[in-house]
């Protein structure tokens, strides 16, 4: 079993906030892939289903963002899951809107939800960083993330959520590259065909809509930490 976690704050008043894009992502996956109904458990809402050949538990913690780790740790302990079995979808200020990065290990960069997860799980889980853009000054961040997406964001947000859902089976089986390709096909669709031009060797392997390898961030754990995470 794998655990997919969406980060956000519970309650109708937070539902469309930028900080809740993680909730939106797992809601879309559940709806598109025929998951069972959401039900209360592990201080959150869970839904069970399959993505490809993998059994998946979706989780939306209801502890408020800064205590998300309590809910995730409870689910992980119950199902005897290791950090490597857990993927977390969360908002990312340092990425432009609709940009996505997959990251293994590393710091929490001040994100309160990730900070809580680090405290309960360590850093050995996978993150899907969902770009929401930055308001331009640190003093504006709190108001910005705890505010609804603008109407102008509707199209790219819908494309992004569709792409995350399209690629979810690939993510579940551990193929981050194919997952990113699926997202790119929604957010950066191939251009209409044009007359062929000579292709330089340096660009011969590029394809429209494909995700650059740089969008899959390297695992920053050292060899000892990887072994610890693998066998604990």
- Strand-strand pairing, 216-217 and 2-6: unpaired
d(CA 91, CA 196): 39
What H or E segment, with its residue span, contains residue 100?
strand 100-104
d(CA 119, CA 133): 26
- Whether 33 is a known active-site residue: answer no
CA dist 157 to 12, 190, 196, Å? 19, 18, 33
The maximal CA–CA distance of the chain, rounded, in angstroms, is: 58
Q: Which two tokens stand for residue 141?
A: 């961040």
Catalytic residue among 17, 19, 104, 111: 19
d(CA 15, CA 140): 20
5 contacts 22 by C-beta, under 8 angstroms: yes
d(CA 63, CA 71): 7
d(CA 142, CA 127): 21
- Active-site amino acid positions: 19
């Amino acid at each position: 079993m794998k655990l997919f976690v969406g980060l956000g704050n519970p309650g109708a008043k937070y539902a469309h906030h930028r900080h809740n894009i993680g909730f939106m992502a797992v809601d879309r996956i559940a709806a598109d892939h025929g998951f069972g109904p959401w039900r209360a458990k592990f201080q959150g809402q869970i839904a069970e289903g399959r993505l490809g050949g993998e059994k998946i538990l979706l989780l939306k913690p209801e502890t408020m963002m800064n205590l998300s780790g309590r809910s995730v740790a409870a689910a992980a302990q119950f199902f005897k899951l290791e950090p490597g079995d857990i993927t977390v979808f969360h908002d990312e200020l340092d990425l432009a809107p609709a940009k996505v990065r997959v990251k293994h290990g590393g710091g929490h960069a001040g994100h309160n939800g990730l900070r809580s997860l680090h405290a309960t799980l360590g850093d050995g889980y996978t993150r899907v960083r969902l770009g929401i853009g930055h308001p331009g000054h640190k003093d504006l961040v709190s108001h910005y993330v705890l505010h609804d997406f603008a109407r102008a964001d509707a199209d790219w947000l819908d494309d992004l959520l569709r792409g995350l859902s399209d690629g979810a089976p690939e993510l579940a089986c551990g193929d981050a590259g194919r997952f990113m390709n699926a997202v790119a096909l929604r957010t950066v669709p191939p251009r209409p065909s044009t007359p062929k031009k000579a292709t330089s060797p340096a660009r011969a392997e590029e394809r429209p809509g494909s995700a650059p390898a740089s969008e899959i961030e390297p695992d920053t754990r050292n060899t000892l930490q990887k072994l610890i995470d693998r066998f604990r």
